[in-house]
């Protein structure tokens, strides 16, 4: 792949991660590359982002299974 920054930046944009750091790949050394430096993602916010959308109000947001099945 020739342009890792553009590719992974577009993936983050497509999924609406809202990283907004501007920089995608700060350090290209593998292993140990530094991706999206300074970015923070709130998992709960991302998982429930459609909760206020009336069209999706009756869809399942989270499914859980415990040890009992």
Q: Give tens-digit pLDDT for 16-65.
A: 887 876 788 888 888 888 888 888 888 888 877 777 777 776 777 678 88
pLDDT at 51: 74
Residues near 29 by beta carbon (within 8 Å), at least 6 away in sequence: none
Give SS3 for 30.
coil
In a domain, 44, yes or no: yes
Q: What is the largest CA-CA distance in the chain?
A: 48
In a domain, 61, yes or no: no
pLDDT confidence tier of residue 67, bands split at 50, 70 and 90: very high
Yes or no: say if 63 and 69 are a contact pair by the CB < 8 Å rule.
no
pLDDT at 21: 64
pLDDT at 41: 85
In a domain, 68, yes or no: no
In a domain, 62, yes or no: no
Round to whole Å and give the CA distance between 40 and 60. Answer: 25
In a domain, 64, yes or no: no
Q: State how many domains the chain has.
A: 1
Residue range(s) defining the domain that contains residue 15 = 4-56
């Amino acid at each position: 792949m020739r342009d890792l920054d553009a590719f992974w930046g577009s993936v983050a944009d497509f999924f609406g991660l809202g990283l907004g750091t501007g920089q995608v790949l700060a350090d290209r050394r593998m292993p140990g590359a530094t991706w999206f430096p300074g970015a923070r993602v709130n998992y709960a916010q991302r998982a429930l982002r459609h909760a206020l959308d009336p069209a999706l109000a009756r869809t399942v947001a989270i499914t859980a299974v415990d040890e009992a099945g």
